[in-house]
A = this chain, B = another copy of it.
Amino acid sequence: DAGVPEGGLRLAVDGDRLNSLVDPEDVTRVRREGDHIVEIGKGLEWYDGFDTGLFLATPGLFAALREAEAEGDTSLSGGVRRLAARGRALALEVGGGFWCDLDDEAALRRAEKALLARLRGKAHDGPVSRWLNRPLSIRLSRWLARLPVTPNQISLFSFGLSLAAAGLFMLGGYPALAAGGVLAQVASIVDGCDGEIARLKHLGSDYGGWLDAVLDRYADAFLLFGLTWHLLHAGGGDAALVAGFLAIVGSFLVSYTADKYDGLMRERGGSRFRIGRDVRVFAIFLGTVLDQVFAVLVLIAAVMNLETLRRLVVCRG
């Protein structure tokens, strides 16, 4: 029982009359009284919603269509109008939901663009995500959406790229180091696609988000370990060991404390200062390309552990 009247239908109606995806020349309009559809048609001057084209109908619709046809009206709206006259056509408000009418190539391109635009500005996106990773990952997702890949497969692929980057770091020498840094940044960009494809294809799942988070923790650790190994084998000594260890621990702790900290900041409604994975990987990218591995490990170690300490204080107060 989805609230369809006996012998009638229920039609999804969009009450957002400013919906920019609607073609005003072509759209069918609806006037309602409460749940009841009272008028429907393309030419309606007084209307309070658009016909989305999504019906849940009983076979009664076919009888109504035949009646309308007998009177010379062969439109779908003709059948609905006859059911509406008997109080058997109800509306379901879907304003705010995504829908669009696809009649031609231009409409398809508009729809694609609108869907992709909805992927921007995820609440947790840090600055590097927002200005570098997200614009590129959205372009990539546009292409990936046509392939039969799942979000979890993308998460695993991105994780594999990070492992390969760590392996390049461990090879030693500047060229491999810089190549690893570029690959780590590419992995971070690809890592945005799992969530985007999940949202585009309605494949989002609690498990998928969690798997991605766990793989990200491993990826972070392997990247930093790769850099530490690189330094140690270049004669970095105990200082490299300590910096690498503190960078790994600090990065973990920032992730470990994120839920609690975000929850508290949401409660307090304050601005959310956030140093996340996007910034970390970008620092690694810059540090390797500039051949400043020790500096970047010290930087990550300092920033991440101080941020953890700051959270311990902020959450207490």
Interface residues of A (CB under 8 A from B): 207, 210-211, 213-214, 217-218, 221, 225, 229, 232, 241, 245, 248-249, 252-253, 255-257, 260, 308, 312, 315-316
Contact = CB atoms under 8 A, between A and B. Distances in A.
Contact of A225 (B245, B260, B308): B245
Contacts of A210: 260, 315
How many monomers of this chain does the complex have? 2
Given A256-B214, A312-B214, A241 B232 contact: yes
A210 B264 CA distance: 13
A146 B217 CA distance: 42
Which 9 residue pairs spanning A and B have beta carbons closest together?
Answer: A221-B249, A252-B252, A225-B245, A210-B260, A207-B316, A217-B256, A217-B253, A214-B257, A207-B315
Main secondary structure of the interface of A (DSSP, over half): helix
B256 A312 contact: no
A225 B257 CA distance: 21
A211 B317 CA distance: 13
A255 B253 CA distance: 11
